[in-house]
């Protein structure tokens, strides 16, 4: 079982952007055609496309809903989308637009029943954005004062597909993922863990393939800036994530 690559498309004002450590004032624009970018990722073999509506994450208003729907309809791989999903109606609008899995972040902490409700009929991931071990909310602009392990435990029996864990301190830095934090979380939850933040080169991806705790390993990794800036291609990333395998992964095959 290899880790799945989730190339990221972060949307702001309809453009592909990346923020540095979640700071809206430190934005890099990588393109103004996110649909074309998504098709490039899919054509290169990406098994998923990860889309974040940064405007909605901050405001709660689904500013880029039409763009997200256009992406979902343009590619033949599943699309996972988050940002500002704070109601059943907001989640339904994304599913109606063709999204395969919706990511609920801030609202998951403030209204866990929303996660339970949506997960009864659709695929849901919970987005846990952390500074250190403190889970942040409202587009990374505020801390919740809650430890990631405690928050993860709340969703154990809600039918959640995955936890998407973004370490804000390394996001956009390309200095490497938070292996220590991810490893610790693997020992505290049975929900699939998708890593996000900090990947800058192929060795970082290879390190994730050997990360394991309590017989569990991450199931996916979200990568943005490193691909956009040419550190490696989608094809190279997929090859890196296909091995080497841990003994635990080999035994599962």
What tens digit of pLDDT does each residue of 56-104 get?
Answer: 877 778 889 999 999 999 999 999 999 989 999 999 999 999 999 999 9
Which of the residues are catalytic?
10, 129
Cα 159 to chain centroid distance, Å, stands at 18
- Burial string for 217-227 (b: 16+ CB within 10 Å, else e) reads bbbbbbbbbbb
27/211: higher pLDDT: 211
Q: Supply the range of the domain harboring residue 32.
A: 4-252
Closest CA to 121 of 139, 153, 95: 95
Please tell me the total number of residues recorded for the chain in this structure.
253
The pLDDT of residue 69: 97
Residues 6+ apart with CB under 8 A from 9: 16, 34, 37, 38, 41, 49, 50, 51, 52, 71, 224
Q: How far is 63 from 56, CA to CA, in rounded Å?
A: 6
CATH of the domain at 215: 3.20.20.70
pLDDT band at 8 (very low <50, low <70, confident <90, very high): very high
Residues 6+ apart with CB under 8 A from 139: 22, 24, 54, 57, 58, 106
The pLDDT of residue 1: 57
The pLDDT of residue 63: 87
Other beta carbons within 10 Å of 252 = 11
Residue/partner pairs of 149-155 with CB below 8 Å, 24 or more apart: 149/184, 149/185, 149/188, 149/189, 151/109, 152/128, 152/185, 152/188, 152/189, 152/191, 153/188, 153/189, 154/112, 155/108, 155/112, 155/115, 155/126, 155/191
| Mean pLDDT to the nearest integer, 135-151 | 86
pLDDT band at 247 (very low <50, low <70, confident <90, very high): very low
| Mean pLDDT to the nearest integer, 19-37 | 83
Element (H, E) at 238: helix 234-241
pLDDT band at 173 (very low <50, low <70, confident <90, very high): confident
Handedness of CA 240, 245, 249, 253 (dihedral sign): positive
Per-residue pLDDT at 170 exceeds 70: yes
Can you count the helices (H) and strands (E) in the chain? 12, 12
Per-chain mean pLDDT for the chain: 91
| Mean pLDDT to the nearest integer, 235-251 | 69
Question: What is the number of domains present in the chain?
Answer: 1
pLDDT band at 24 (very low <50, low <70, confident <90, very high): confident
pLDDT band at 244 (very low <50, low <70, confident <90, very high): low
Per-residue pLDDT at 252 exceeds 80: no
The pLDDT of residue 20: 75
Other beta carbons within 10 Å of 250 = 11
The pLDDT of residue 19: 76
pLDDT band at 227 (very low <50, low <70, confident <90, very high): very high
Other beta carbons within 10 Å of 26 = 11
Residue the block writes with tokens 């704070």:
86
Q: Which residues pair with 141 in a beta bridge?
A: none
| Mean pLDDT to the nearest integer, 186-202 | 96
Percent pLDDT > 90 in the chain is: 75
The pLDDT of residue 58: 78
Q: How far is 176 from 38, CA to CA, in rounded Å?
A: 24
| Mean pLDDT to the nearest integer, 156-171 | 94
The pLDDT of residue 250: 41
pLDDT, one tens digit per residue, over 99-128 is: 999 999 989 999 999 999 999 999 999 999
């Amino acid at each position: 079982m290899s880790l799945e690559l989730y190339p990221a498309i972060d949307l702001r004002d309809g453009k592909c952007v990346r923020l540095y450590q979640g700071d809206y004032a430190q934005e890099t624009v990588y393109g103004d055609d996110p649909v074309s970018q998504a098709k490039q990722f899919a054509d290169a073999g990406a098994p998923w496309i990860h889309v974040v509506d940064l405007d909605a994450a901050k405001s709660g208003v689904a500013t880029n809903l039409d763009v997200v729907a256009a992406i979902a309809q343009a590619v033949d791989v599943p699309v996972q989308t988050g940002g500002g999903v704070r109601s059943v109606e907001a989640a339904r609008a994304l599913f109606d637009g063709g999204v395969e899995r919706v990511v609920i972040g801030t609202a998951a902490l403030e209204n866990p029943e929303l996660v339970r409700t949506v997960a009864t009929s659709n695929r849901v991931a919970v987005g846990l954005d952390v500074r250190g071990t403190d889970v942040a909310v409202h587009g990374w602009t505020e801390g919740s004062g809650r430890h990631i392990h405690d928050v993860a435990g709340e969703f154990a029996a809600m039918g959640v597909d995955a936890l998407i864990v973004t370490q804000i301190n390394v996001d956009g830095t390309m200095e490497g993922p938070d292996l220590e934090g991810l490893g610790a979380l693997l020992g505290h939850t049975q929900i699939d863990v998708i890593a996000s933040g900090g990947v800058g080169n192929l060795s970082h991806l290879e390190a994730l393939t050997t990360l394991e705790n309590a017989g569990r390993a991450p199931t996916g990794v979200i990568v943005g800036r490193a691909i956009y800036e040419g550190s490696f291609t989608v094809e190279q990333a997929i090859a890196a994530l296909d091995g080497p395998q841990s003994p635990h992964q080999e035994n599962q095959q």
